[in-house]
Structure 1
Amino acid sequence: MRQALRQKSSNGGANRLPTSKATFLPSPTKGWYVGANLSDAPKGTAYILDNAFPQLDYVRMRGGSLAYATGMPNAAVNSLIPYINGTTSKFFAGCNGGIYDVTGAGAVGAAAVSGLNSTAYLEYMQFTNSGGTWLMVVNGVDAAQLYNGTSWTTTPAITGLTGGNLAFVWPFKNRIYGIQTASLSYWYLGLNSIGGAATQVDMSGIFKYGGYIICGTSWSISSNSGLYEVLALITSEGEVAIYDGLNPADTAWTLKGLYKISKPLGRRCILKAGGDIAVMTEDGIIPMSSAMTLDQIALQNVAVTKPIAPAWRDAVTARQGLTGWQIVTWPLQSMGIINLPKTSTGDATQFVANVRSGAWARYLGWDANCFGVYNNVLYYGTSDGRVMQAETGAQDDGKNYTWTVFPSYNDLGSPAVVKHVKMVKPRLQSAYPVVPQVTVKVDFDTTKPQAPTASFAAATGALWDTARWDVATWPADLTDLSNWTDAEGFGSVISPVIQLTLSTSVTPDIRLTSIEILYETGNAVG
């Protein structure tokens, strides 16, 4: 039986029952935060935020995943490649030595390109010249594969390469630049050319820490005279060289700076973000602009990943030597996704962020080797030769998953006073009835509660592409599902953990806007 805390009266007389108080905690829209002492975490953050996405005004349960493209060999899909030319678009996947057309849903046909010696990681770029809009795909082993919107070819071939074919390509001032698998040289083609003779530029005398060039990109830098475009080269050891000029043969070609950052995480470590470039490194995701003014250690203080710095460090340490890191954005949902290499067969972990607010969360359950965005929809490639559509349905390929919101600890305004939490009201909005599990954690207990059993939620209206027009009814609007739940806890700091597991095919639209707490206070600790 629940028993209320008691406290002495002011005159030392008989004890009296305390008065219950109610307070509320905002939904942790500031995201997952483990970058400070547990007692000093910012308000509006969460110690654990799993399978949840922090919107600007609420935290939502993520969607599941459904099979989109099937029929490829039972092998890892490590590359998803979109092609867009005007109103024409295509979507390709690299799997088991082949490139498959996965533009349409369902079983794929024969490989559009077969016999490749490696599809472990295909890198690509689009380039437009007088001959059309080309998709160039490279892997460091085979000749560059070219797609012109209709067919694949290897002509015109890139000639003059020594030491292997290109492993990474990018455009800069109407030329294609590329690097090989393990070299301190880069190569460039003629003006507006997609093939022909390549010219080598040896950087071994510039980079002082050795290693090899892992990737390159163009970057627009603002100056007093306006924007100007530079070439950026990044090595495996974290050196960054910035060049200005038309091309390396230009007499005005100038090394603008040589900078040091932490080691980058794979070739897919760069992302253009506004007027800056984000670089994914062992110390976190850092803005390139800051690398020009801060040393390697100081860059950790401006890293985009600073709120989750310990978790980032643990993830990097656990994945030393593994490939599969990728940073990608889904602009439609303002979402940034960091795909983590698999530490084991069952590892299915991604770090996600709201790119508008910088709030982080963690997704668990997607067997993803790579991500791609096509026609504003998010997809990922699996370990068994399929392409999945992400953030749809409420199961991960038929498996349930659990939404966990573990807010950062809060002293409710009285740090040295014991509280007796009696009831909790999660303020939820949902299109169908759900009943979350509520667990009150106290005094910095960081143990994640066991996942609740699945709720069998059912939609109350029509499903798109399934229901009959003018016959079925539309799904219900979001309704308030805020109810007080018995949930007890005794401690000086409190965290009401909200969890939900669904068993349904309906994509969840479940939003947590705040959490109310009913509690009593006792004597000061000690």
Structure 2
Amino acid sequence: MARKQTTARPATFAAPTGRRVSNTNLAAPTRDGPPGAFVLRNFWPGADTCLLRRGSKRHATLGDGSLPVVKLMTYANGNNQHLFAATADAIYDVTTVADPMVGLSPVVSGFANGAWSWEQMMTSGGDVFLVCVNGADDMQIFDGTHWWGIDDKNIDKLTFNTKTGTFIVGATLTGATSGAHGTIVRVVGSGATGTIYVRGVTGGPFQAAETITGAGGGSAKADGAEQPYLIGITAGGTTPIATDQLAYVWSYQKRLFFIQKDSLKVWYLPIDQIGGAANVLQLGGEVPLGGALLFGSAWSLESSGSGGLSEQCAIVTTKGEVAVYAGNNPAGATSWQKVGTYRIGDPLGADAWIKAGGDLVIATTIGFIPLSQAVNRDMAVLAPAAVSYPIEPDWSRATMSMAFGWSCLTWTERQMVIVAPPPPSSGDPIFWVANARTGAWGEYTNWAAHCLGTFGGRLFFGTSDGQVIEANTGGSDQGAPYTGQIMPLYDTRRSSAAKKYPLQAKVTTRGPYKQARPSVSMMFDYSEKLPAVPSAVMVDAATLWGTAVWGDATWGADRVREVASHWSSVGGEGYAMTPLVQVTSGSDIPIDVEVIQVDLTYDLAGIVT
């Protein structure tokens, strides 16, 4: 039966800057606040438009590429800045890479795993160190120039002159007069003068002008007694501890705290020190559910007894309990008090949390939970308070298949929060992004991130094949195209019993390139089956609005953003409808197209009776 001819009706679907929404009734979605999306893929939900994400490119290759990149770490002390990447057995400096396709050599290797926890710390002398532990190997410390393995023995430095021969790292250094001896760990200086770093000196000190010899070769005159450089970590009480048992590190009140692996024990050092006597804090009686400690952090509340912010120490277990303490010295009865123990759901990894202001937001089996919400709510009613509540069904499905090893990060420069579950063995990886200013969620595809990191205002992630990838750069994913998709929530146009017949659709966009025109088609009746993606938009300088000069199209240059509208015919029929906007990027240059809204005309059939 032919439908009765009617006057075409207009409809407008604004860009879904509100967020990707999967926890709403399909037939009666919530309309409060900015518009939401049924699909928001590879578009960044800005405050005013939805912007197609940029691509990714290889930044570095670690070794032969046979091992996953499992950790990214940064060191920053003034202009001395480094980005490090770790595999299961080595650490690499990937700060500046000459050729990303050529495998790098490690700066330190021979490790049992790459699950490093790291913290930058300034000591009382003003020196800045990167402190790293993994629960299997000796603590590693980077001093801005060299990496050092730290156990319970001190590392001293001894300057020398009139050297002959070559001192061998690992050999014993002995003073001919003093009888002092220790193990050589590093020699700096290739000429007649230099510095020897010696671990575990006994029988000392070395004496000025005495002959020092290495068991494997080398001889010189000592300038004087050895001087302390790095202090080993020893137990401050009767309970023993070794640095290869420390699995997590964080700083609180100018003090380093460590979690002993597979335990409910925390160790802490003196203020402003990275070595010395470590004392133990037993939490076995403070967390009723048991399990093991997973991570810790400073946590600030909005009030304190003296007014202003109150910084406290939060320690999280694998069972989803958070023990919170106030004070600055765990050894003092009056300077360390238990604040409370709170439930948050089982955490999804030692890196599955972010700081949001003073608050902690933790990825758990029940959602992305702000710790501040757990203080006043029972865990049974925490889910609606989760930051991830708009994507609750997606989150739940992901936790069922990938229950641990998640990574979370705040990219401060872009106000972007990232949640990356571990890549699955098959299927597409999940890479969720959220606008830190608006709370809007979206998802990015093709980025299989095993770990996350930022450096110099840029975003990086590690892959399973030994690559460090820089994200959100260029217009393709390492030469491969990717497609952005926007599908607003379905709409019955207040007439769910009448069929709609779309006629024409107009996509309004903003961007620097004339030919970056998204395609538009119509979806009906809550279908999730999307049509084929369009071919890639290929752009160059000649397609810039208002110019054909290459210098105006280079990365980082100011480019004119023009608003454009394009009408096209659409078809189909259904009771509920929504437009699907798609654009594929595949060039070296990012096309940076923003979707503002979709307007369409449609016929409305009579109500079925």
TM-score, normalised to structure 2, is 0.79
CA contact (8 A) 1:460 1:476 kept: no
Q: Which amino acid aligns with 2:588?
A: S
**Using the alignment, how far apart are the partners of 1:101 and 1:496 within structure 2?**
47
Offset at 1:442? 1.2
**Which residue is equivalent to 1:256?**
339
**Which residue is equivalent to 2:132?**
137
Please state if 1:192 is matched with 2:275.
Answer: no
Q: Which amino acid aligns with 2:140?
A: Q
Match 2:527 to one of 420, 442, 445:
445
**Which residue is equivalent to 1:355?**
436
**Using the alignment, how far apart are the partners of 2:488 and 2:552 within structure 1?**
44
**Which residue is equivalent to 1:52?**
43
Within 5 A, what are the aligned runs for 1:346-425?
A: 347-425=428-506
**Which residue is equivalent to 1:9?**
none
Offset at 1:217? 0.7
CA contact (8 A) 1:276 1:287 kept: yes
Offset at 1:215? 0.6
**Which residue is equivalent to 1:128?**
122
Q: Which amino acid aligns with 1:339?
A: A
CA contact (8 A) 1:34 1:311 kept: yes
Offset at 1:475? 7.7
Q: Which amino acid aligns with 2:604?
A: T
**Using the alignment, how far apart are the partners of 2:542 and 2:300 within structure 1?**
50
Offset at 1:434? 2.4
Offset at 1:220? 1.7
**Which residue is equivalent to 1:240?**
322
Please state if 1:455 is matched with 2:449.
Answer: no
**Using the alignment, how far apart are the partners of 2:86 and 2:466 within structure 1?**
9
Match 1:95 to one of 59, 72, 87:
87
**Which residue is equivalent to 1:279?**
362
**Which residue is equivalent to 1:12?**
none
SS of the residue 2:109 aligns to: coil
Note the alpha carbon deviations across 1:78-119, whole angstroms, 9 max, x for none: 111111112321111112411111111334643121111211
SS of the residue 1:39 aligns to: coil
Offset at 1:472? 9.3
Q: Which amino acid aligns with 2:345?
A: S
Please state if 1:83 is matched with 2:75.
Answer: yes
Please state if 1:112 is matched with 2:194.
Answer: no
Offset at 1:481? 3.3
Larger radius of gyration: 2
Please state if 1:5 is matched with 2:88.
Answer: no
**Using the alignment, how far apart are the partners of 1:388 and 1:302 within structure 2?**
34
Structure 1 residues 104 and 423, CA, compared in 2 at 3 Å: closer, same or farther?
A: same
Please state if 1:39 is matched with 2:27.
Answer: yes
Offset at 1:342? 1.7
**Using the alignment, how far apart are the partners of 1:370 and 1:165 within structure 2?**
23
**Which residue is equivalent to 1:176?**
256
**Which residue is equivalent to 1:61?**
52
CA contact (8 A) 1:70 1:106 kept: no
Offset at 1:468? 8.0
Offset at 1:454? 2.6
Please state if 1:495 is matched with 2:595.
Answer: no
Structure 1 gaps of 5+ residues are 7-16
**Using the alignment, how far apart are the partners of 1:71 and 1:308 within structure 2?**
35
Percent identity reads: 34
Structure 1 residues 122 and 508, CA, compared in 2 at 3 Å: closer, same or farther?
A: farther
Match 2:409 to one of 301, 321, 328:
328
**Using the alignment, how far apart are the partners of 1:262 and 1:472 within structure 2?**
47
CA contact (8 A) 2:552 2:559 kept: no
**Which residue is equivalent to 1:204?**
284
Q: Which amino acid aligns with 2:363?
A: M
Note the alpha carbon deviations across 1:319-370, whole angstroms, 9 max, x for none: 13x42x0110111111111111122155432111111111101111013211
Offset at 1:512? 0.2
**Using the alignment, how far apart are the partners of 2:83 and 2:142 within structure 1?**
12
CA contact (8 A) 2:70 2:88 kept: no
**Using the alignment, how far apart are the partners of 2:139 and 2:533 within structure 1?**
48
Note the alpha carbon deviations across 1:255-303, whole angstroms, 9 max, x for none: 1111112001110122110131111111111111111100001110110
Please state if 1:344 is matched with 2:425.
Answer: yes
Structure 1 residues 347 and 197, CA, compared in 2 at 3 Å: closer, same or farther?
A: farther
Q: Which amino acid aligns with 1:516?
A: D
Please state if 1:156 is matched with 2:231.
Answer: yes
**Using the alignment, how far apart are the partners of 1:40 and 1:434 within structure 2?**
34
Structure 1 residues 280 and 471, CA, compared in 2 at 3 Å: closer, same or farther?
A: closer
**Using the alignment, how far apart are the partners of 2:569 and 2:499 within structure 1?**
19
**Using the alignment, how far apart are the partners of 1:409 and 1:371 within structure 2?**
34
Structure 1 residues 192 and 311, CA, compared in 2 at 3 Å: closer, same or farther?
A: same
TM-score, normalised to structure 1, is 0.92
4+ runs deviating over 4 angstroms:
467-476
Structure 1 residues 179 and 430, CA, compared in 2 at 3 Å: closer, same or farther?
A: same
Structure 1 residues 118 and 71, CA, compared in 2 at 3 Å: closer, same or farther?
A: closer
Note the alpha carbon deviations across 1:396-435, whole angstroms, 9 max, x for none: 1121111111111012243333211111111112222123
260-269 vs 71-80, which deviates more? 71-80
Note the alpha carbon deviations across 1:378-406, whole angstroms, 9 max, x for none: 11111111211111112111211111111
Structure 1 residues 128 and 472, CA, compared in 2 at 3 Å: closer, same or farther?
A: closer
Q: Which amino acid aligns with 1:189?
A: L
Offset at 1:168? 0.7
**Using the alignment, how far apart are the partners of 2:433 and 2:38 within structure 1?**
15
**Which residue is equivalent to 1:288?**
371
Offset at 1:71? 4.8
CA contact (8 A) 1:428 1:513 kept: yes
Please state if 1:509 is matched with 2:592.
Answer: yes
SS of the residue 2:566 aligns to: coil
**Using the alignment, how far apart are the partners of 2:552 and 2:43 within structure 1?**
35
CA contact (8 A) 1:45 1:408 kept: yes
Structure 1 residues 239 and 458, CA, compared in 2 at 3 Å: closer, same or farther?
A: same
Offset at 1:229? 1.7
SS of the residue 1:250 aligns to: coil
**Using the alignment, how far apart are the partners of 2:584 and 2:317 within structure 1?**
44
Offset at 1:247? 1.7
Offset at 1:54? 0.3
Structure 2 gaps of 5+ residues are 150-229
Q: Which amino acid aligns with 1:40?
A: A
